[in-house]
Amino acid sequence: MNDFAALYHRDITRLRQEIDAYATEDALWLTTEGISNPAGNLCLHLIGNLRTFIGLGLGGYPYVRDRAAEFASRNIPKAELLAALDELLPIITDSVGKLSEEDLKKPYPDNPLGYEMSVGYFLIHLNGHLNYHLGQIDYHRRILTHNGAIPLASK
């Protein structure tokens, strides 16, 4: 497993732990003033983002993204979100784990950020995006459920 695969494995595992830490189904979908995207939608968004840009774009795993649904869907059972994350993990670790140093230097196709970048650059960007939303989910859970930090995977 290369460093990218190890980091994505760790962080998708952390995402799964955060979603699983919600005590009720309803809590996953709570919003309040200033928080328009509940944890359930952020989870769906991360799944769609990673499946599209890594699973499909680098690994060739079939996927059709519905980005609007990532933010519009509500009340999807926690078990379904967890199952989607369980499906996501091997797709992402396989897709990035097979990349060589030479592959990481190649241009990522179609310039999804609007400019040319290498595969390695885009993987760093996507991991930052994953962790940005992972932090939002953590604080959403803490603030709206009044539960504190949970121990997260270190590897």
Q: Read off the pTM.
A: 0.96
Asked if residue 84 belongs to a domain, the reply is yes
The 10s digit of each residue's pLDDT in 75-92 is: 999 999 999 999 999 999
Amino acid identity at 37: N
Domain that holds residue 104: 3-145
Contacts of residue 9, Cβ cutoff 8 Å, sequence gap at least 6 = 1, 89, 92, 93, 155
Asked if residue 153 belongs to a domain, the reply is no
Q: State the burial class of residue 50 (Cβ atoms within 10 Å of its Cβ: 0-12, 13-18, 19+).
A: buried
Q: What is the CATH number of the domain that holds 71?
A: 1.20.120.450
* Least confident piece of the model among 22-36, 56-70, 99-113: 22-36
Helices (H), the chain: 3-20, 39-50, 67-72, 78-97, 101-105, 119-145
Asked if residue 70 belongs to a domain, the reply is yes
Residue 108 has what DSSP assignment?
A: P
Asked if residue 14 belongs to a domain, the reply is yes
Asked if residue 152 belongs to a domain, the reply is no
Give the Cα separation of 107 and 124 in Å (integer): 14
Q: Structurally, how many domains does the chain consist of?
A: 1
pLDDT at residue 69 above 80?
yes
Asked if residue 154 belongs to a domain, the reply is no
